[in-house]
Amino acid sequence: MNDFQNAEQEVLKEVLKIFKKNNLEYYTIGGTCIGAIRHKGFIPWDDDIDIAMPRKDYELFRTNLYKELPNYLVKLDYDNSVHNFFLSIRIHNKKTTMVDLYAKGQPDMFGGAFVDIMPVDGLPDDPKEEKRLIRTATLCSKLNSMVRLYDVFPRKNMGPIQFVKDVFKKPVGFMFRNNYDYFSNRITKMFMKFPYDNSKKVCFTWRLGIEYRRLVFDKKMFDETIPMKFEDVYINVPNGYDSYLRQDFGDYMKIPNENERSSGHTAYIYDLTKPYEYYAQLEREKMKK
């Protein structure tokens, strides 16, 4: 492990303690799941940890049980960050700094070494109702971004086409400026009508807007979990990990060529020696000039 991966691994250990203590259901997904299967730990060039939870367990953790974490670990989500348009939460170490480029100019989205935790939702059995739900939720997801970023639009350093799009998005956000949580809360309520345990298909809700193949999965893939070594701990992977990963990533056991290896994150500030609030304050001062 490199220094950043090691810092994230320490966050993971504390999160897993809370999961175990409260008997919360979870499983790893994405690059973390591939890493557990293929490398018995991090993918060497990866720089995050991804965990998914059924909505019921996710909401228990997001709204209350995260408080059982050590004081140096904090939650970042749309509850405490106006500009955070993601439909997921991040547990991060406030003594460190790991900020992606998308958070530039938005100090309330700054954080430290982290673990990402995402909700997984059930879907209605009726295909037509399923499509309506996903279509409506996707629209709400786009509106959620507009509302939370309205005071950022139009964004700097954007091309002319994106600049024009941002100009048209700004009024929509302005209309809901006093109720930032409206669309994120609406998405949650929409999906909670379809309990995860009773569903035949499940949805990776934080990915709304992505292609169906990577958004909707057979719930049987996740009915049970298997403990798998991940560096110096064991983590849960879905019992149907092979079917899930092939649907999501194709031949996940094939090592990508060097020019195809990417973590998917672009660093703005990475510093394990200083707390993120130090850089957040610098960002606020810079924005005043």
Q: Which residues contact 257 (CB under 8 A, 6 or more apart)?
A: none
Strand partners, 269: 99
φ/ψ of 268, rounded to 5, equals: -105, -50
Dist CA 41 CA 230 (whole Å): 4
Query: What is the distance between the alpha carbons of residues 23 and 18, in angstroms, rounded to a whole number?
Result: 8
Place of tokens 């193949």: 213
Can you give the pLDDT at residue 166? Answer: 86
What's the confidence (pLDDT) of residue 1? Answer: 84
Question: How confident is the model over 62-117, as pLDDT tens digits?
Answer: 999 999 999 999 999 998 899 999 999 999 999 999 999 889 999 999 999 999 99
Cα separations in angstroms, 134 against 89, 216, 270: 21, 10, 36
pLDDT of residue 99: 95
Q: Provide the 3-class DSSP secondary structure of residue 17.
A: helix
Q: 232: buried, middle or exposed (CB in 10 Å: 19+, 13-18, 0-12)?
A: exposed
| Burial class of residue 114 in the structure, from the number of CB atoms within 10 Å of its CB (0-12 exposed, 13-18 middle, 19+ buried) | buried
CATH class of 3-120+222-288: alpha beta
Count of residues in the chain: 289
Residue 86 three-state SS: coil
Query: In this structure, what token pair is assigned to residue 106?
Result: 């938005």
Return d(Cα 286, Cα 289) in angstroms, integer: 6
Q: Which of 137, 120, 116, 140 is nearest to 56 (CA)?
A: 120
Main-chain phi, psi angles of 208, to 5 degrees: -50, 130
Containing 193, the helix (H) or strand (E) segment is: none
Cα 71 to Cα 82, 85, 91, 135, 229: the distances in Å are: 22, 25, 11, 39, 27
Q: How much is the pLDDT for 66?
A: 96
Task: Supply the pTM of this predicted model.
Answer: 0.93
Domain ranges in the chain?
3-120+222-288
Q: C-alpha 260: how far from its chain's center?
A: 22
Q: Residues with Cβ < 8 Å from 26, sequence gap 6 or more?
A: 19, 51, 52, 53, 57, 117, 225, 236
pLDDT tens for residues 55-64? 999 999 999 9
Positions of the chain with pLDDT under 50? none
pLDDT of residue 90: 97
